Chain A
Amino acid sequence: MGRYVIRRLLQMIPVFIGATLLIFLMVNVMGDPVAGLCGDRKCDPATAAQLKKEFGLDKPVWQQYLTYMGNVFTGDFGTAFNGQKVTELMSAAFPVTIRLTIVAIVFEIVIGISLGVLTGLRRGRPVDTVVLLLTLVVISIPTFVTGLVLQLLLGVQWGVIKPSVSSEAPFNELLIPGLVLASVSLAYVTRLTRTSIAENRRADYVRTAVAKGLPRRRVITRHLLRNSLIPVVTFIGTDVGALMGGAIVTERIFNIHGVGFQLYQGILRQSTQTVVGFVTVLVLVFLVANLIVDLLYAVLDPRIRYA
């Protein structure tokens, strides 16, 4: 187990370097970022040159990349164009997005899995059909539609929530945005759980458990659900990274100043430091989430061993 974890951690290094290099190149291909800083007029050449020097943009790309990576390992993610340290931006943005992601994941787990179990046990019954239809609707409607409609109905028409989240972004204000962010994944979790449960319901070990006379609740939670969760956990695990990086739409609609907002701003202003810094952290989140998922397998199914 320990060796497995170490091996996995070592494997992350090339993935990490490759991913950051790709992003670095992509942002650089977009052209000269300093030109956009002066608005609809030309920067005077001397100031532009000076700014380029300050941000290290006057050097060849490979050299920029090496300096950048060197700095990253010492915890220095550089400075964004508005003069703020990227680490400062991160410390403001990540807590917000993490809260949003937690809300979304909790919704996925609680609603998604319970609906999945419910429908999996009652396949073909009206409940199943209704939930299946509902998930189909949710999956087929884009997030920004759900978001805008909920914002309009709950925020403006009925005044149940504030249409925009305040800059502190406490948990209670993030509930609806979290639900919107989770909606599509939630539908998938429901469907995955449903299929998995329905399949395992006829498995030998479930029949044995029932034959032993175990209470129904125990059969479902300890035997059926635990074994059915592996695909679901895999999905939720990878979804953590996807939710954090993909919250741009939701964050924009509900005015959440999280990772999505900073990334969007960074891309618009072609701020290499901001974009690469944030994506670097997101890549790490993705990798760690995947590792945790793999480790969870053994918890769910002791037959799985790591070597």
Chain B
Amino acid sequence: MRGATHAKWAACAVTVALAATACGGGGSGGGGGDGSGIVSSSWGDPQNPLEPANTNEVQGGKILDMVFRGLKRYDPKTGEAKDMIAESIDTKDAQNFTVKIKDNWKFSNGEKITAKSFVDAWNYGANLKNNQKNAYFFGYIEGYDKVHPEKGDPSAQTLSGLKVVDDKTFTVKLSQKFSTWPDTLGYPAFAPLPKAFYDDHQGWLSKPVGNGPYTVDSYTKGSKMSLRKWDGYPGDDKAQNGGVDMKVYTDNNTAYTDLMAGNLDLVDDVPASQLKNAKNDLGDRYINTPAGIIQTLAFPFYDSKWNKPGKEKVRMGLSRAINREQITETIFQKTRTPASDWTSPVLGEKGGFKEGLCGDACKYDAEQAKKLVEEGGGIPGGTLKVSYNADTGSHKEWVDAVCNSINKALDNDKACVASPIGTFADFRSKASKQELDGAWRAGWQMDYPLIQNFLEPVYFTDAPSNDGKYSDKEFDKLVNEANGETDTNKAIGKFQDAEKILAKDMPAIPLWYQNGSAGYSDKVSDVSLNQFSVPVYNEIKVN
């Protein structure tokens, strides 16, 4: 029968196709337990060019954490800022600091690290002309307003508060007292830069040279970066593996599938849809640990309807109408913890985290919720709109759940509605221009594990991330006092006092603390996430 030959032919084509694809499979870099094995890890395409002062998101930050070391480094377990390149950072008045650096540090291209490596890098980062998105990190240093004016061209090229004393010493003068400032220096923006960075900027960007435990072996933008262990690394946190291959995934579901199929060693962002299975699929190889991220619902204080005395009762009522336990359990599969203050558990008790500081206001109680909202004169406009960006992060699910919870507690179908905004950029644009009415999802990912970082940038009058324009004199005063306090414990106490004002005013409803979730293959061990939910790559061992 002639037809049969046709069918056979088609079947053959498919068989050949399958067979050929199978041939395409191959092993990845091997290596035994001798520390030479290569770890393959999922990665996202960094949004900005990879420069220390220009990287403000996790994907680029991961690389900086491997390629750079700064004056300080946050201990991946405790979050404590420990001296790395810094020999000592001394101050008498919480405003003038003398930084001494260690002798034996160099960049992977052989260049020695001197005080100038830091001062030049910071000047570069702060200068408006260089478009660095993290420039505001240098905002505490004197002379910042000259090199980074709010309007017009800079009138100075260097920060007047930075002075090189000798090869190993430089001094920093801040424009205000800030006792915990040295602890902020673990942030990648403060990393030193080699001469090559300024001499051949494009070349440097295509293959960054740093001073961390890894060097960049090859970098194909948008798809892959191979990092290899740097044998000459002088630090004591040397890489325990031969290198890391970072592979960009179009979708974290595919990364998870690749992990399941044994093609990938580490996924540091388990997709929401797989959270249910992750525990079964991976067992002990599923990590779910707290990260320095808190989610809140922020309110528009620029809108007079929300900024009236008595409305704090409405906000408190809304807070009490949200069943945090239920939502974190059912929607987030316990990868979130109900929040009861405005910081994060990663700070630890010593660092200023205080469970329950929010008090009853963060406890679910439908009856009280209803009473409080009524006492406060009801929700302005009758309906609370909760805005979120619909493009990434699957926010729809939990915003709907929060609204359901509020509607149920207040016994009113129209008390809360979700209001999606197309893209993250548009959402951020509306939020930062005070164009949102009603509440919106606000997330805060810490820059450094300090209680100051959870409060000042978000709730201080006119602070950069105070999108709701909340303002309270007492709060500002306490934060300033805390910053001027040289005794760390006292400073933290003051910050907590300031936080208690938030508990009274409820400028933003704390929802939950976010965890970092990751999964890894049985080919690797010693995998953990730090407080920024970034894997501690240098500690990973390949079996």
Contact = CB atoms under 8 A, between A and B. Distances in A.
A31 B435 CA distance: 12
Given A31-B430, A35-B425, A114 B9 contact: yes
Contacts of A176: 17-18, 21
Nearest to A88: B221
Interface in B163-199: none
A156 B48 contact: no
A39 B57 contact: yes
B-side interface size class: 35 or more
B251 A40 contact: no
Contact of B254 (A118, A160, A164): A164
Interface stretch (A7-15, A204-212, A267-275): A267-275
A225 to B, nearest CB: 13
A187 interface: no
Contact of B21 (A32, A88, A161, A270): A161
B429 interface: yes
Interface string B442-484: 1111000000000001000000110100000000000000000
B261 A32 contact: no
Given A32-B425, A37-B47, A82-B48, A167 B247 contact: yes
Contacts, number: 210
Most chain B CB within a 10 A radius of its CB, from A40, A160, A176, A269: A40
Interface in A113-131: 114-115, 117-118, 121-122, 127
Contacts of B93: none
Nearest to B45: A265
A230 B444 CA distance: 59
Contacts of B249: 164, 255
B423 A160 contact: no
Contacts of A254: 254
A163 B423 contact: no
B24 A47 contact: no
Interface string B421-449: 01111111111110000000011110000
Contacts of B529: none
Nearest to B132: A47
Given A41-B464, A47-B135, A81-B47, A156 B222 contact: no
B251 A156 contact: no
Interface string A166-181: 0100101101100100
Interface in A16-46: 30-46
A42 B467 contact: yes
Given A110-B13, A151-B257, A118 B133 contact: no
A31 B425 contact: yes
Most chain A CB within a 10 A radius of its CB, from B261, B433, B457, B465: B261
A46 B423 CA distance: 23
B240 interface: no
Given A33-B425, A41-B464, A252 B13 contact: no
Nearest to A248: B250
A50 B102 CA distance: 37
A2 interface: no
B137 to A, nearest CB: 10
Interface stretch (A64-72, A235-243, A256-264, A281-289): A256-264
Contacts of A35: 425-426, 428-429, 431-433
Contacts of B128: 46-47, 50
A111 B150 contact: no
Given A40-B428, A47-B132, A167-B224, A83 B48 contact: yes
A264 B44 CA distance: 13
Contacts of B223: 92, 167, 257
Interface in B384-425: 391-392, 422-425
B18 A160 contact: yes
Nearest to A271: B425
A94 to B, nearest CB: 13
A296 interface: no
A32 B220 contact: no
Contacts of A82: 45-49, 221
Given A36-B423, A163-B261, A170 B24 contact: yes
A30 B467 CA distance: 20
B263 A163 contact: yes
A124 to B, nearest CB: 13
A164 B262 CA distance: 11
A146 to B, nearest CB: 14
Contacts of B7: 118, 127
Nearest to A53: B131
A275 B428 CA distance: 20
A253 B249 CA distance: 10
A95 B389 CA distance: 33
A40 B21 contact: no
Contact of A172 (B23, B129, B263): B23
Contacts of B49: 82-83
Nearest to A177: B21
A139 interface: no
B73 interface: no
A161 B10 contact: no
Contacts of A175: 17-18, 20-21
B22 A118 contact: no
Contacts of B17: 175-176, 179
A159 B261 contact: yes
B248 interface: yes
A117 B21 contact: no
A44 B249 CA distance: 30
B278 to A, nearest CB: 15
A156 B261 contact: yes
B536 interface: no
Contacts of A43: 133, 432
A121 B148 CA distance: 77
B493 interface: no
B425 A252 contact: no
Given A257-B223, A257-B248, A44 B464 contact: yes
A86 to B, nearest CB: 12
B25 interface: yes
Contact of B258 (A32, A160, A164): A164
B425 A40 contact: no
A160 B21 contact: yes
8 contacts: A36-B425, A39-B445, A42-B465, A88-B221, A257-B223, A257-B250, A264-B250, A270-B426
What are the nearest 9 A-B pairs in CB distance? A36-B425, A35-B429, A167-B223, A83-B49, A32-B429, A31-B426, A42-B432, A35-B428, A41-B465
Interface of A: 30-47, 49-51, 54, 81-84, 88-89, 92, 110-111, 114-115, 117-118, 121-122, 127, 151-152, 154-156, 159-164, 167, 170, 172-173, 175-176, 179, 251-257, 261-262, 264-265, 267-270
